[in-house]
Amino acid sequence: MADESNLHTSTTSVGARMISFIVHWTMTTNHKDIGTLYMCAALFNMFVGGLLALAIRAELFIPGLQIVNPNFYNTLTTMHGLIMLFGVLMPVAAGFANWQIPMMIGAPDMALPRINNMAFWLMPFATVMLVSAMFMDGGGPNFGWTMYAPLSTTYGPPSTDFMIFAIHMLGISSIMGAINIITTIWTMRAPGMTWLKLPMFVWTWLVTAFILLAIMPVLAGAVTMMLFDRNFGTSFFDAAGGGDPLLFQNLLWFFGHPEVYVLALPAFGVISEIIPTFSRKPLFGYRSMVVATVLIGFLSGVVWAHHMFTSGMPYGAQLYFMLASMLIAVPTGMKVFNWVATMFRGSLSFETPMLFAIAFVIMFTFAGCTGVMLAVAPADFQYHDSYFVVAHFHYVLVNSLLFAFFGAVYYWYPKWFGRMYNEGLGQWHFWLSFISANVLFFPQHFLGLAGMPRRIPDYAISFTDLNMISSVGAFVFGFTQLLFAYNLVVSVRRGQKASAQVWEGAKGLEWTLSSPPPYHSFQTPPKIG
């Protein structure tokens, strides 16, 4: 969205301008454009996934089957999970990576611009294929985003194969993006930008990219085995044929657990950018933040079976995975303490980005605590597959990560588009979201403790009150996001013009550029002091 005025002359026809618009956006190799594309796709997908969530919460408002049949309900929960993880959170993080990494390291663009373009465009096509599976004969995928075999293999509908294809495409997109990011950070830092001067956001994406390279192929392997079991007579996961259903779980979670850190680390990165700015104080403990990030990256790969405590593993394995999962709380907790220490004795102001960042710290600490509870293997026998788990991971994904990404959008929006968003609307968006997200997910902890399983379309009457409260929160939260979208769209034209510095306490190379930055920035590398 940078300086492109040469396209809008009065002598070109509407048709020619439209074609030129389409050609520009499909063929662009500019990291700023591609970042914007990722953001727009993620925002759109968020409303699609959110609509599915509202359908779920509407059905769960009171006991009984009022709105959807149980099979479609299972499709809703499956698609909601897949869309939110693969169509919203991963693209939005990739969008931030594209916009910010080159500017933050003083590079003119990403190392592999054409791959960057391809990596992006795979994603919306894959997402369309994924969503279209819902409308195919036999219904959409209805076995949970975790796709356990043999429910997904022997008993999955035909559309499952299209879902597998979509996941392959999304995986390739992520792998290409990861290669691009590592190469860029490794080889294109401006002279003088040593590793220990790298902004935290860049560090977190560096580690994230390595995790992606390790895990996406495993997911690809798992879904390929699913495809073969479904169509080519193999028995990877079919006990009757000599295969093993638990193999699927191990493969899926070997991908699935590091995946949540793939989502979390970039969010940690943005928080590490936002809090120092609005505290007017440097990030506390930069070095240990870097160490913690790398440690989290490693540990994330060796804790996967804490999702499988009830699946029949020997108690020695339960012991190991309990220990490792609790250990990962140490570097994560260290990060929280460092953020708090950054704010402590700072000079805080509470613009919208900072509100979201503070809410992140509060709710992520809480989510981390329920995570520690879940890691206690014996107790997990009661928590597993109940709404306690649903509450935990939504506190992580929505109340923490999504809030961090909201904050980051508000934070960098004035830089990207040269216009301030509407601060009043931002505050409304924050407070309504903060309150409703807690109304939505907090009661679910108690539902789980009281014995409500997950992925059920109807429930025993003792669970009614808390489900009602949760559903009300869901609808308020869902509609509040319209404020966000409106703010973003309208402020591009009507927002107040932003300065280069934008925020008084902001430090970093991106703030030395104009707002919006030049279409091609840092053609000459900046001098790093």
Instruction: Find the binding residues for another protein in span 399-428 (CB under 8 A).
Output: none
Under the criterion CB under 8 A, does residue 14 sit at the interface with another protein? no
Residue numbers 94-113 binding another protein by CB under 8 A: none
Residue from 91, 102, 124, 150 touching another protein (CB under 8 A): that is: 150
Task: State how far the Cα of 85 lies from the Cα of 394, in Å rounded to an integer.
Answer: 11
Q: 53 and 474 in contact (C-beta within 8 Å)?
A: yes
Residues 274-293: x where in contact with another protein by CB under 8 A, - otherwise, as a string: -----xxxxxxxxxx-----
Residue from 37, 101, 377, 404 touching another protein (CB under 8 A): that is: 377
Under the criterion CB under 8 A, does residue 507 sit at the interface with another protein? no
Q: Cβ of residue 88: shortest distance to another protein, in angstroms?
A: 22
**3-state SS assignment for residue 305:** helix
Q: Residue 519: which of 120, 221, 103, 146 has the closest Cα?
A: 103
Q: 367 and 342 in contact (C-beta within 8 Å)?
A: no
Under the criterion CB under 8 A, does residue 28 sit at the interface with another protein? no
Q: Judged by CB under 8 A, how many residues of this single chain contact another protein?
A: 100
Residue from 44, 113, 244, 508 touching another protein (CB under 8 A): that is: 244
Distance, CA of 459 to chain centre? 30
Stretch that binds another protein, among 16-24, 43-51, 339-347, 484-492 (CB under 8 A): 339-347
Residues 71-90: x where in contact with another protein by CB under 8 A, - otherwise, as a string: x--x----------------
Q: Residue 449: which of 435, 472, 436, 466 has the closest Cα?
A: 466
Encoding tokens for residue 53?
Answer: 């969530």
Residue numbers 296-315 binding another protein by CB under 8 A: 310-312, 315
Residue from 122, 169, 358, 409 touching another protein (CB under 8 A): that is: 358
- Helical residues (DSSP H) of 106-199, grouped into ranges: 113-132, 160-187
Residue nearer to another protein on the CB measure, 56 or 90: 56
Residue nearer to another protein on the CB measure, 365 or 514: 365
Residue numbers 48-67 binding another protein by CB under 8 A: 63-66
**3-state SS assignment for residue 289:** helix
Task: State how far the Cα of 396 lies from the Cα of 405, in Å rounded to an integer.
Answer: 12
Residue numbers 169-228 binding another protein by CB under 8 A: none
**3-state SS assignment for residue 156:** coil
The residues carrying an active-site annotation are: 80, 109, 145, 173-174, 257, 259, 261, 272, 306-307, 332, 335, 454
Residue nearer to another protein on the CB measure, 283 or 401: 283
Taking CA atoms, 314 is separated from 51, 311, 382, in Å, by: 41, 10, 18
Q: 329 and 371 in contact (C-beta within 8 Å)?
A: yes
Tokens 């991963």 locate to 90
Q: Cβ of residue 445: shortest distance to another protein, in angstroms?
A: 9
Enter the DSSP assignment of 158: T
Q: Cβ of residue 177: shortest distance to another protein, in angstroms?
A: 31
Residue numbers 253-272 binding another protein by CB under 8 A: none
Residue numbers 435-464 binding another protein by CB under 8 A: 446-447, 449-451, 453-462
Q: For the chain, what is the largest distance between any 2 Cα atoms, rounded to a whole number of angstroms?
A: 75
Check the CA dihedral 312-313-316-318 and report its sign. Answer: negative
Using H for helix, E for strand and C for coil, what is the string for 49-81? HHHHHHHHHHHCCCCCCCCCCHHHHHHHHHHHH
Q: Residue 487: which of 402, 420, 411 has the closest Cα?
A: 420
Residue nearer to another protein on the CB measure, 507 or 520: 507
Residue nearer to another protein on the CB measure, 144 or 221: 144
Stretch that binds another protein, among 134-142, 220-228, 254-262, 478-486 (CB under 8 A): 134-142
Q: Residue 368: which of 395, 342, 343 has the closest Cα?
A: 395
Residue nearer to another protein on the CB measure, 173 or 444: 444
